[in-house]
Structure 1
Amino acid sequence: MQYQNVFILFWEQVKDSIEKGEFAKLTMAKTIGKPNLKNIFLRPIFSEDTYKVLLKFSYRSKETEDVEKELTLEEAYAIMKPHLKKSFLSVLLFTTTKDVTFKINKKGMGSITENTPTFHEVILAKKNEE
């Protein structure tokens, strides 16, 4: 199945984990080549009115400062989606019940696998924290 359609299914699991209070972290990884952008992280952050996440761009170079943004999930999705297949070939969803990995192969096909959870509790992110 084309990676775009599989990513939609994967993102539904992200939203489901948030609704259930199980979302711990999301990481875009496995870069294509050796770009300066190493990872993109998404962590839940405390917000009184609506669900917010801390989106962090992590860079390889010490000269490039990491960038953090406090966003809604929809805003984070809009920023992350263009990086699929262009910069990153995998996205890892960490929840308190399972880890879910989305991968894009060389033919542009997507897949989803599940493993036992890495995180056993949700820890809210703070600014300047990974």
Structure 2
Amino acid sequence: MPYQDMFVLFWEQVKESVQEGRFAKLTMAKTIGKPDLKNIFLRPIYSDKGFKVLLKFRYRSRETEDQEEVLTLEEALVVLKPYLRKSFLSVLLFTTTKDVMFKINRKGIGSMTETSPSFHHVTQAKSDLD
């Protein structure tokens, strides 16, 4: 299945985990080449005002400061999508019931695998930005 179609299914699992209060973290990993950008993380922020995520860009270089931004899940998706296949080949969803890994192979085919959960509790992100 083309990675774009598989990513839609993957993102449905992300939304479902948020709705059920199981979302712990999302990480974009497996960079292509050796770019300065090392990872992109989403951490949950549950509040009375609704669900938001802390989006964090982590860089390899110590001279480049990590960037953080508080966004809705939909806004975060818009930010993440351009990095698929161009910068990152895998996205890991960590929930309290399972971990889901989305991968893109060299031919542009997407796949998903599920494993036992790495997180048993949701730890909210702490941010000065909200």
TM bucket, shorter chain = over 0.9
Equivalent position of 1:18 in the other structure: 18
TM-score calculated relative to the size of structure 2: 0.96
Equivalent position of 1:74 in the other structure: 74
Query: Can you list the C-alpha shifts for 1:24-77, whole angstroms capped at 9, x where unaligned?
Result: 000000000000000000000143212100000000000000000000000000
Letter of the 2:81 counterpart: K
The 4+ residue runs of structure 1 with deviation greater than 2 A are none
Equivalent position of 1:56 in the other structure: 56
* Distance in 2 (alpha carbons) for counterparts of 1:46 and 1:110: 30
Tell me the SS of whatever aligns to 2:80: helix
Letter of the 1:85 counterpart: R
* Distance in 2 (alpha carbons) for counterparts of 1:67 and 1:50: 23
Gaps of 5+ in 2: none
* Distance in 2 (alpha carbons) for counterparts of 1:48 and 1:66: 28
TM-score calculated relative to the size of structure 1: 0.96
* Distance in 2 (alpha carbons) for counterparts of 1:36 and 1:23: 27
